[in-house]
Structure 1
Amino acid sequence: PNLHIWKRAAENMTDKKEEPERNSGTDKDAPEEQVQSREKWANKMEFLLSMAGEIIGLGNVWRFPYLCFKNGGGVFFIPYFVFLFFCGIPVFFLEAALGQYTSQGGVTAWRKICPMFEGVGIASQVIVIYLNIYYIVVLAWAIFYLFYSFRNPLPWSTCDNSWNTGKASPEEEFWINRVLRLSDDLSLGKVHWDLALCLLLAWVICYFCIWKGIKSTGKVVYFTATFPYLMLFILFIRGVTLPGAADGLKYYLTPDFSKITEPDVWRDAGTQVFFSYAVCQGVLTALASYNQYNNNCYRDCVALCCLNSATSIFAGFAVFSVLGFMAQDLGISMDEVAASGPGLAFIAYPKALSLLPWSSFWAVLFFLMVIFLGLDSQFVCVESLSTAITDLFPRQLRRPGAREILVLVIAVVCFLLGLPLISEVSSRKRKDCYKEKKSKLDKILLQMMHLESSGKQGSPDGPVRTSPHIYH
């Protein structure tokens, strides 16, 4: 009898609690039935491809192979896998499990754990805003190169162009004088309309990939997340069949055990793991928040991390086989052709491709790969930001048409803020993402401490409900 009394009392309290919530809207609010429920992935494959598209990006192709070459070849794998298994996978799983457990974006997920920790989520979205502004500029450069790749001969392979000065190699002058058009003037300079159009095109593509939420994102990633693998495999097959490819792979993998004790090697390994796994951006939390509650998140995270690292290693074979061919063809050492970051994607590799027969064809394939590697990382970052904002204001933004307007506002604002990055600004003004990487390390420590303390104190909403698939 006492159980029936307690049950009836609980039902009465629930009715009283829900009654003011149903009547809390004002006249100008939309009817309750117009507030749409939170979406879920149509199937697990959409979730896995979206996550893979986010974490597998340009860093796998233009940064990891160079770090192996720079830090002792095969020896670099030792600190890399130490950081991967003891830091990368645990933090990756932590963020994904947080999103799946709370079914909230990067800000409100922390509010649900403990309102005092909401600032951690806000910090992640600040990082995402910066990423949305400057990361897509790389796509604009790649689109610019793609248009020029249809010319024969390739414009960066000749010295008879208006931007050539004879003071550097033709591929360097194309990058500096034609693409960036850098100036030593302290003023901001003018915005170049051709690069601005490339940036606009990148944002238009990004917008239509995610404007309908995960319904559109989940379908687009079937192509954007798999197409780069096809391009990478084709470039790998072409690269390993070139003369000099073996020398390039030797420099890529030959271990130098004297490097293992150098602090910079371990720092580069840790930075690469945290950067390439997209932790501390709230992106993993946002994507996993659309999962079913009992999804086996642990298995998914381990599989995705293994795929990411395998892609980085495989990309090294595709990159250094071609660089080895270029070194042999030009009669120079590997130290002179190996490069990292934009220097690899926009100077060294295009130079190597220009030496091949059918050079325009290979250049088109390469820059298509670069575009799609960066595209899904970009639109997933925008998806993370829109998810966080929508979860902060669900009654206002979960209405028909509201999401499309929100994503459009984000795209327009970030496009305008990105215009100064394609202006005539001195290269000395272009800041590296060191502060962003450092902020990620700080945020990882905050996340671990906050979740540890909340785990001891319990959830503010009551007992913690656990899932055997998440917390196994």
Structure 2
Amino acid sequence: MTQQETHAQEAERRGSFSSRRVFILAAIGSAVGLGNIWRFPYVAYDNGGGAFMIPYLIALLTAGIPFLFLDYALGHRFRGSAPLSFARLRRGTEGLGWWQVGICFMIAIYYAAVIAWALRYTLFSVTEAWGDDAAGFFTGEFLQVSDPGVTAEIVPGVLVPLLIVWAAVVVVMVAGVQKGIGAVSVVFIPLLVITFGALVVRSLFLPGAADGLDALFTPDWGALAEPGVWGAAFGQIFFSLSIGFGIMITYSSYVHRDTDMTGSGLVVGFANSGFELLAGIGVFAALGFMAQAEGVAVDEVAQSGVGLAFIGFPAIISEAPWGAFIGVCFFASLVIAGLTSLVSVIEVVISAVRDKFELGRAQAAALVSIPAAVLSVLLFSSTSGLHVLDILDHFINQFGILLVAVVSMVVLAWVLKVLPLLQNHLNRNGSFRLGALWRILVSVVAPLALTYVLLDGLWNDVRTRYEDYPGWMLGVFGWGAAGLVIVFGFVAARLPWRKDTPMDVTDDEEVQA
């Protein structure tokens, strides 16, 4: 069998997206997730308002999109999952790919829980089941949150939707790249735009909406002199684009060799930021209404994350005209955005397992998804689930995703010095040509910016115990989980590849290995 036939057989075995359009929709589906809706609006508001758009745009152009191109180049050039792409580049770097796989597995088990909450709250919105006390309902009647610690007491109201989420994920993953991930993206991304667009339009007509938008967009130019504001911009761009932890490497490996990857990257990058801006408008229009209804300033009701979604918005829904409509649109948007991101996260793991071992699609999907679902149910359908999720999310984001991204950039740019190779590959069919500036951004600007964000987070967590959780919980679910994915990465890299795995992907280029 010739090398070309071997690669063709490998592509058929792994699966692929049917077109560039499907790939772009899948990449947007991965990038647009919960963080766009509940994190960006508050980060922008808390870091200079309208002035934040300047460092945000600079971060997008100097770090976000350049790093996205780097991920695309690795996956598209070396035609594999994150571990296989790194192994084909240089066998000694395979551990970086498995480190990313470990991170994705950790994210998947808790991300599914948040989607399950949003699924339940979509139904709660119809009857406003939280009554007059949204905060008490969320932590009390719904999650039945215990004191910090780990319990085995299962909450049926969380268990059932969590099982539904994992059942949906398994069906999508078994269906494959095009019939599963691609089909879901083609349907769900337009649906997300329509659903969230309806929420934004309705929010804009609420009394007080203008006050909310004024609070969000009024610029504080003095904030531009603060390093923390710039760090927040680079951190937001990095987290929101789903870069640096294997997703875009995996997705780009499913695209035809002649695809315009740089043009696709620009579409994905700007679409993601456009949705974040839309989210900011919708969320702060609603918060403006809430502030007026309560007779307080917007800063007294503005919040981020879980508090915004499951406490802030239910309070808005209870007060607003067409509250049920707003609630269904908001929580349905969370479910849709969450699911398209979750399938991309778990696909990183499934793709790596398939590449490493001789497994069919259904076998690999079951081997990965069932243990992930079991862990997810055990940890997050219990009364201690909220505490564990908060810790795991914080530490995996700060000291998992950020750290592996910085290490990967340094290794690729300064140790292996393969940026010219990757640049040439992207330029072969790219409509946006890369040059020396891209290499400087990826090798100097992005690593330095993300290192600042990483060290700032490390200093804060070393100086002050995160959210005052017990030390043993932070040790196990925080520092321990972040360390475990590193150990897993370099242990998994020691396992042998299946014998028929081609390692010499040339594609008319000489692999620098």
Aligned length: 423
Distance 1:426 1:445, change over 3 A: closer
Cα pair distance change 1:458/1:63, threshold 3 Å: closer
Question: Are residues 254 and 41 of structure 1, via their aligned partners in 2, closer, same or farther at CA, if it must alter by over 3 Å?
Answer: same
| Distance in 2 between residues matched to 1:454 and 1:34, nearest whole Å | 26
Give, in whole Å, the separation in 2 of the partners of 1:332 and 1:465: 55
Q: What corresponds to 2:447 in structure 1?
A: none
Q: Are 1:48 and 2:21 matched, yes or no?
A: no
Q: Using the TM superposition, give the Cα deviation of residue 333 of structure 1 relative to its aligned residue in structure 2, in angstroms.
A: 1.4
Q: Which residue number corresponds to residue 250 of structure 2?
A: 286
TM-score (norm 1): 0.84
- 1:177-256 alignment runs, 5 A limit: 177-184=140-147, 186-216=149-179, 217-256=181-220
Would the alpha carbon gap of residues 95 and 36 (structure 1) be closer, same or farther in structure 2, given more than 3 Å must change? Answer: closer
2:363 corresponds, among 398, 401, 405, to: 405
1:447 aligns with 2:423: no
Deviations 1:60-105 (A, max 9, x none): 1101011111111011112212221111111111001111111111
The secondary structure found in structure 2 opposite 1:183 is coil
Q: 2:102 pairs with 126, 131, 134, which one?
A: 126
Q: CA deviation at 1:465?
A: 7.0
Contact 2:113 2:162 (C-alpha < 8 Å) held by counterparts = yes
Q: After superposition, what is the alpha-carbon deviation per residue over 1:147-193, rounded to whole angstroms, capped at 9, x for unaligned?
A: 22232xx12233xxxxxxxxxxx011111102221112644140112
Q: CA 1:155–1:39 in 2, change beyond 3 Å: closer, same or farther?
A: closer
Instruction: Measure how far apart 1:315 and its partner are.
Output: 1.1
Question: How far is the alpha carbon of 1:219 from its aligned partner?
Answer: 1.4
Determine the C-alpha separation between the residues in 2 that align with 1:369 and 1:440. Answer: 25
Residue identity matched to 1:407: A
1:296-349 CA deviation, whole Å, 9 max, x = no partner?
A: 101110111011111101111111111101111121111121010011111111
AA partner of residue 468 (structure 1): R
SS of 1:383's partner is: helix
Distance in 2 (alpha carbons) for counterparts of 1:35 and 1:53: 23
Where do 1:95-174 residues align within 5 Å? 95-151=71-127, 154-158=128-132, 170-174=133-137
Alignment-derived partner of residue 176 in structure 1: 139
C-alpha separation between the residues in 1 aligned to 2:28 and 2:270? 11
Please give the residue correspondences for 1:364-443 in structure 2 after superposition, counting only pairs within 5 Å. 364-393=328-357, 396-397=358-359, 402-419=360-377, 420-425=379-384, 429=388, 430-431=390-391, 432-443=393-404
Q: Deviations over 1:386-418 (max 9, x none)?
A: 11111122xx22xxxx21122123221111111
Match of 1:30 in 2: none
Report the Cα distance in structure 2 between the residues aligned to 1:353 and 1:465, rounded to whole angstroms.
Answer: 50
- Pick closer, same or farther for the CA change 1:109–1:325 going to 2, 3 Å: same
Displacement of 1:451 in angstroms is: 2.1
Specify the SS of the correspondent of 1:41: coil
Q: Once structures 1 and 2 are overlaid, which stretch shifts more, 447-456 or 105-114?
A: 447-456
Specify which of 265, 269, 280 is matched with residue 301 of structure 1. Answer: 265
Partner residue, 1:10:
none
What amino acid is aligned across from residue 369 of structure 2 in structure 1? A
1:73-88 equivalence runs, <5 A: 73-88=49-64
Deviations 1:252-308 (A, max 9, x none): 000112222223212221211111011121110110001111211011101110111
Aligned equivalents of 2:207 and 2:124: distance in 1? 27
> Structure 1 counterpart of 2:368, which letter?
I
User: Offset at 1:457?
Assistant: 11
Structure 1 residue 426: Cα displacement? 7.8
* Residues 157 and 171 in structure 1, CA contact (< 8 A), matched pair in contact too: yes
Q: Find 2:240's aligned residue among 271, 276, 281.
A: 276
When you count helix as a share of all residues, which structure comes out higher?
A: 2
* Distance (Å, rounded) in 1 between the aligned partners of 2:331 and 2:385: 25
Which TM-score applies when normalising by structure 2? 0.78
Mind listing any 5+ residue stretches in structure 1 that lack a counterpart? 1-13, 22-32, 159-169
Over residues 12-67 of structure 1, what are the superposed CA-to-partner deviations in whole Å (9 max), with x where a residue is unaligned? xx98x99xx9xxxxxxxxxxx99953322211111011000000111111010111
Tell me how far apart the structure 2 counterparts of residues 405 and 71 of structure 1 sit (CA, whole Å): 47
The question of whether the paired residues in 1 share the 8 Å contact of 2:121 and 2:331 is answered with yes
Q: Secondary structure at the match of 2:245?
A: coil
**Other-structure match for 2:300:** 336
Equivalent position of 1:161 in the other structure: none
> What do you get for the CA RMSD once the two structures are aligned?
2.5
Q: Distance in 2 between matches of 1:456 and 1:141?
A: 43
Task: Report if aligned partners of 1:133, 1:415 keep a CA contact under 8 Å in 2.
Answer: yes
2: CA distance, partners of 1:245 / 1:124: 41
The question of whether the paired residues in 2 share the 8 Å contact of 1:113 and 1:454 is answered with no
Contact persistence 1:40–1:291 (CA under 8 A): yes
CA contact (8 A) 1:280 1:440 kept: yes
Amino acid at match of 1:422: S
Partner AA of 1:143 in structure 2 = L
Paired with 1:458 and 1:147, the residues of 2 have a C-alpha distance of 52
Comparing 171-180 with 355-364, greater Cα deviation is found at 355-364
Conserved? CA contact 2:24–2:267, under 8 Å: no
The 2-side partners of 1:457 and 1:377 are apart by 28
Secondary structure of the residue aligned to 2:130 is: helix
1:92 and 2:68 aligned: yes
Unaligned runs of 5+ in 2: 435-513
Q: Is the 8 A contact 2:143 2:155 kept in 1?
A: no
Deviations 1:127-157 (A, max 9, x none): 1011111111101111121222232xx1223
Equivalence for 2:478: none
Q: Which has the larger radius of gyration?
A: 1
**Residues 305-314 or 430-439, more deviating:** 430-439
**Aligned partner of residue 54 in structure 1, secondary structure:** helix
CA contact (8 A) 1:106 1:282 kept: yes
Q: Are 2:318 and 1:357 equivalent residues in the alignment?
A: no
